[in-house]
């Protein structure tokens, strides 16, 4: 038995060397809700979004300059369209997390994993498996309980915005699969154009006087706020993107997706442990149901 086990050990170590950075991405994404909540108010959402992506965009442009020059006009248009959808996702998520807890935001946004197969089924006219329908029902019940906290109350406006963000993420995934021009585009170039389009939307909104200006917000930031912004920019955007590109070439997309699917667990853990948030018994049961339902749904579809 020892002779059979020995060759497997290096393979296991190599798998973990790939899995750990991806798992770290899930951790930083889970922590991103609390980080965004800590440096953003309703009045500064647009400004923070401009600053967050303006920090990383030059690095992406330099790294992917050759790929950007190689993009065709239809690929530019397709990527820009995806960027407009992406801007809506970030607006909904950021305004939402300001109005709800980081724990709720991280768990509710995971419903994207349920919404997307339903949307695909509607487009292809193929009924989802019964197990998936059961998992979806479990997840929805979990969200209902999660948003109640200590008792049955009206869900907050932030919960509703995060739910809309999950739907917008579904639209983004479907658009990526339906826009033929972007299917063969370089991933780095595609992401750069998308983020550039999103920043352009945020800049227009800022110029129109929607909230505080990026410059005044940047001037008012202290060390804690800049640390939070750099965490969102460098780790949750730049680092996360490159790790995904690196990992998907060394393992299967399904394995990467499974590891990134732990994001809501980390969002809840960080929100409770670091942010001092409390779910209550009803909310805790709801959070568990969301995690179980979305995990079951990934395997059932």
| Rounded Cα gap, residues 175 and 158, in angstroms | 25
pTM of the model: 0.83
Among 274, 264, 256, CA closest to 294: 264
At residue 4 the predicted structure's pLDDT band, cuts being 50, 70 and 90, is: very low
> Which band of pLDDT confidence, cut at 50, 70 and 90, is reported for residue 152?
very low
pLDDT of 128 above 80: no
pLDDT tens across 225-276, in order? 999 999 999 999 888 888 877 776 666 665 666 677 778 888 888 888 888 8
Residue 65 tokens read as 């300059």
Q: What is the pLDDT of residue 119?
A: 83
Please, is 231 exposed, middle or buried when counting C-beta atoms within 10 Å of its C-beta (0-12, 13-18, 19+)?
buried
Distance CA 228, CA 48 (A): 10
pLDDT at 108 over 60: yes
Contacts of 267 (CB under 8 A, 6+ apart): 29, 30, 31, 33, 34, 102, 103, 105, 106, 107
Q: pLDDT, tens digit, for every residue of 155-175?
A: 788 999 999 999 998 898 888
What's the pLDDT tens digit per position in 66-107? 889 889 999 999 999 999 999 999 999 999 999 988 888 888
**Residue 3 has what pLDDT?**
46
Q: Compute the average pLDDT of residues 122-142.
A: 80
pLDDT of 124 reads 77
Average pLDDT of span 185-192: 85
- For 60, the 3-state DSSP assignment is helix
Return the pLDDT at 2.
41
Structure tokens at 222: 């202290």
d(CA 109, CA 51): 23
Gap between the Cα atoms of 158 and 146, Å rounded:
13
Percent of the chain with pLDDT strictly greater than 90: 36
Instruction: Please say if the pLDDT value at position 113 is more than 70.
Output: yes
Model confidence at 287, pLDDT cuts 50, 70, 90, reads confident
């Amino acid at each position: 038995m020892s002779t059979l086990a020995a060759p497997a050990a290096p393979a296991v170590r190599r798998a973990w060397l790939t899995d750990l950075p991806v798992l770290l991405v899930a951790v930083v994404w889970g922590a991103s809700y609390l980080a965004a909540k800590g440096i953003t108010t309703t009045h500064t959402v647009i400004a923070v979004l401009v600053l967050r992506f303006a920090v990383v965009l030059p690095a992406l442009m330099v790294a992917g300059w050759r790929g950007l020059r190689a993009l065709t006009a239809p690929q530019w248009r397709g990527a820009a369209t995806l960027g407009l959808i992406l801007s809506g996702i970030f607006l909904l998520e950021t305004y939402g997390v300001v109005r709800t807890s980081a724990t709720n935001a991280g768990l509710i946004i995971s419903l994207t994993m349920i919404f997307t197969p339903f949307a695909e089924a509607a487009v292809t006219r193929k009924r989802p498996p019964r197990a998936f329908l059961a998992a979806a029902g479990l997840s929805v019940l979990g969200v209902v309980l999660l948003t109640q906290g200590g008792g049955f109350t009206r869900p907050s406006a932030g919960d509703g915005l995060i739910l809309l963000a999950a739907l917008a993420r579904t639209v983004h995934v479907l658009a990526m699969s339906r826009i033929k021009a972007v299917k063969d585009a370089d991933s780095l170039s595609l992401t750069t154009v998308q983020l550039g389009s999103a920043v352009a939307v945020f800049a227009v909104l800022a110029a129109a006087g929607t909230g505080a200006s990026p410059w005044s917000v940047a001037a008012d930031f202290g060390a804690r706020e800049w640390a939070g912004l750099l965490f969102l920019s460098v780790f949750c955007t730049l680092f996360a993107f490159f790790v995904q590109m690196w990992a998907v070439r060394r393992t299967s997309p399904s394995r990467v997706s499974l590891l990134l699917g732990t994001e809501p667990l980390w969002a809840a853990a960080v929100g409770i442990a670091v942010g001092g948030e409390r779910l209550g018994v009803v909310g805790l049961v709801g959070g568990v149901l969301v995690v179980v339902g979305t995990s079951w749904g990934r395997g059932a579809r």
